[in-house]
Amino acid sequence: MGKMNHPGYDIPRPTKRQYYEVCDKLVSRLMESGEMGLSLMGHGSFFRDGDCNFGVSDQDFF
Amino acid sequence: MIFPECFVTDKKLFRQISVVFADALGDKKIKLQVCPLDLGVAKDGRFNSLTEDFRNHLSSDAKILVGPDYRDRINYFRFKDSTEGVLSHNLRKARLSILLSEHNRRNDYGEFLNKFDTLLSAVSGVPKQIMYLIDRNLRASRFSSLEILSSTFPNLDIEPLERIKWLYNNHIEYDGVYHNPEELVDFSMDALGFFENVIKSYVGKFPLGKNRK
């Protein structure tokens, strides 16, 4: 089997901490951009407390 | 993510946000599901990829992370014409491919190219799909609607679509774009702009009927 870069196969699955880092960085950078009127919402399991399977779940933005 | 413009998004902003996504994700393998919309498409609803089922879900579950809360300005439909559904899906796909283009370029160049191919395929199908919504004539070839599209929407710039057609027939140049990521992103932006302008022109010429549910 060759290298695939697939989490859980030949690279580690993302951690809970990494999920929060991605979200925090995304939000802070978008806020810093100062783009008036741009809207970002989060929904799905990551934004429902206790419902996210870290390492498997997607992060949903709308 | 909702852009404040109506129908035609600011491509400079799109590129900035693509870098923001790339920086935030880094090399982390977290799958992001993003639904990029603009206020024009959101309010009209016919080319909004979210259907009525999402109304309650977003009302109760969504958290506003950045900017205004536009949820009460979004029009959802329970049922849509299948061609409206295809265009809605492809518009989302085209925008998403550009939003994640910088991340893919840095981390997975093959995926970067795949998304470019997908974008061109989606955009080149727009004329025959939009013309089908207008006259219900099914056209086999994706580029066979160029002339009628131009005559239906005389102010529409079809040059980006002619460039896609040219690229499809000139593989050496197509392959050359693969090796020039800046040109590839510029090409993608123009293609998306064409898609958005078609939707804007269509909605302007054929406003949403009051009885549409």
- Which residues constitute the domain of residue A48? 16-61
The phi, psi pair for B65, rounded to 5°, reads -100, -40
Per-residue pLDDT, averaged over B12-36, amounts to 94
What's the gap between Cα A51 and its chain centre?
Answer: 14
B21 and A61 in contact by Cβ < 8 A? Answer: no
Q: How far apart are the first and last CA of chain B?
A: 24
pLDDT digits (tens, 9 = 90+) for B56-89: 889 888 999 999 999 999 999 988 899 999 999 9
Does residue A9 lie within any of the structural domains?
no
CA distance B191 to B197: 10
Does residue A43 lie within any of the structural domains?
yes
Does residue A38 lie within any of the structural domains?
yes
Longest dimension (CA), chain B: 51
Mean pLDDT, chain A, rounded, equals 91
What pLDDT does residue B175 have? Answer: 97
Does residue A5 lie within any of the structural domains?
no
pLDDT digits (tens, 9 = 90+) for B171-202: 999 999 999 999 999 999 999 999 999 999 99
Per-residue pLDDT, averaged over B84-100, amounts to 96
Q: How many separate domains does chain A show?
A: 1
Q: Is residue B137 scored above 70 in pLDDT?
A: yes
What pLDDT does residue B78 have? Answer: 87
- Residues of chain A above pLDDT 90, percent: 69
CB B58 within 8 A of CB B71: yes
* Alpha helix ranges (H) inside B26-145: 39-44, 53-61, 82-99, 101-107, 109-124, 126-135
- Which token pair is B57? 């879900």
Reported as a pLDDT band with limits 50, 70 and 90, residue A1 is low
Q: Is residue A50 scored above 80 in pLDDT?
A: no
Nearest to B63 among A21, A33, A42 (CB): A42
The amino acid present at B197, given as its one-letter code, is N
CB B58 within 8 A of CB A41: yes
Strands B37-38 and B2-3: parallel
Does residue A30 lie within any of the structural domains?
yes
What pLDDT does residue B101 have? Answer: 97
Does residue A8 lie within any of the structural domains?
no
A61 and B1 in contact by Cβ < 8 A? Answer: yes
Cβ neighbours of A42 in B, within 8 Å: 62-63, 65
**Among residues A54, A61, A60, A59, which one has the least CA distance to residue A8?**
A54
Q: Which residue from A minimizes the CA distance to B38? A: A38
Does residue A6 lie within any of the structural domains?
no
A39 and B29 in contact by Cβ < 8 A? Answer: no
- Which token pair is A62? 């709308």
Task: Compute the half-sphere exposure of residue B204: CA atoms within 13 Å on the CB side of its CA.
Answer: 14
Q: Is residue A47 scored above 80 in pLDDT?
A: yes
What pLDDT does residue A34 have? Answer: 83
Q: Is residue B10 scored above 90 in pLDDT?
A: yes
Question: Which of A1-5, A30-34, B117-121 has the least mean pLDDT?
Answer: A1-5
What pLDDT does residue A3 have? Answer: 74
Residue-by-residue DSSP string for B11-60:
HHHHHHHHHHHHHHHTT--PPEEE--EEHHHHHH-TT-S--THHHHHHHH
Distance set, CA B132 to CA A25, B11, B20 (Å): 43, 28, 37
Q: Is residue B212 scored above 70 in pLDDT?
A: yes
Q: Is residue B132 scored above 90 in pLDDT?
A: yes
Does residue A49 lie within any of the structural domains?
yes
The phi, psi pair for B69, rounded to 5°, reads -95, 105
CB B90 within 8 A of CB B49: no
B65 and A44 in contact by Cβ < 8 A? Answer: no
